[in-house]
Amino acid sequence: MEMQTSEIGINRTGLQASPQNAQELLSATKTVLPSTPGDASGIGKVRAEYIAESDPLGSVPPPAAATGVLKGGVNIEAQNQSQLFADKLGERLAFERTGTRLYEALIVKFRAYESELSNVSLARIEEIRDEEAEHFSVLRAAIESLGGDPTVQTPAADITAVESQGLMQVLTDPRTTFTQSLHAILVAELTDVDGWDTLIRLARAAGHEHLAVEFESAQEAEETHLDSVRQWLIDLMEGETTVLS
């Protein structure tokens, strides 16, 4: 098993690894010119054309139940607000589900590096994993109570799934250490705390005080997740610098 520490070894990615080739490379930039004309503004122009012609990234469906609160009122502003709320509920649901899976992957990494992780508690990691799953259930119940369908992939849920792909890649890459994996978890937890904040504000604005209170207790749990992850990272990095010095 490799150490937690990023090892010092042969890394040839930097230019200074080969001064002679570096000179050749730099002189080549003066003689080998781009084979086609244009610069970054050309790419921007093409992207702008695509943006102008593109469809939106999915939509938020009206709730199945005709009496659903998510349907909003008759006025446009209330409808837009309830649409945004439904979109963000779907986002949080997707992210908490992913969060559970991220922690499952972290547990596998923990077991692989267990002997070096005296400062990290597996019981606490499992507790956080369970709370992510619990939050998923809270959201499912909230969406159902508003007449929505929790199986819907909303546009914001779709986006958050794309965003978190990189996190899962880091966690399941067999080469990454526990510490490197934990950094990906930190990104997820930072997003968690802010995500609940948005949802609490939207719930209050829509007059769903009971949901806002439920979401607040989820947010409190998320803040303790962030504290645990940050502390582990500090301890692990301190341990690594001791090894290096």
Q: Which residues bind Fe ion (CB under 5 A)?
A: 189, 192, 222, 225
Nearest-angstrom CA–CA distance, 41 and 64: 46
* Residue 173 vs 227, nearer CB to Fe ion: 227
96 closest CA partner among 163, 171, 182, 192: 192
| Cβ 191 to Fe ion shortest distance, Å | 9
Q: What does each C-alpha distance from 143 to 8, 57, 59 come to in angstroms? A: 50, 21, 16
| Cβ 126 to Fe ion shortest distance, Å | 13
* Residue 206 vs 229, nearer CB to Fe ion: 229
* Residue 208 vs 225, nearer CB to Fe ion: 225
CA 135 to chain centre: 15
Given a contact cutoff of 8 angstroms between Cβ atoms, the answer to whether 101 and 90 are in contact is no
| Cβ 232 to Fe ion shortest distance, Å | 14
The vertex-61 CA angle with 58 and 63, nearest 5°, equals 160
Residues 6+ apart with CB under 8 A from 35: none
| Cβ 225 to Fe ion shortest distance, Å | 4
* Residue 5 vs 224, nearer CB to Fe ion: 224
| Cβ 223 to Fe ion shortest distance, Å | 9
Nearest-angstrom CA–CA distance, 20 and 18: 6
The vertex-115 CA angle with 112 and 118, nearest 5°, equals 115
| Cβ 132 to Fe ion shortest distance, Å | 5
For residue 6, what are its two tokens?
Answer: 């990023």
* Residue 70 vs 157, nearer CB to Fe ion: 157
* Residue 78 vs 161, nearer CB to Fe ion: 161
Nearest-angstrom CA–CA distance, 234 and 36: 49
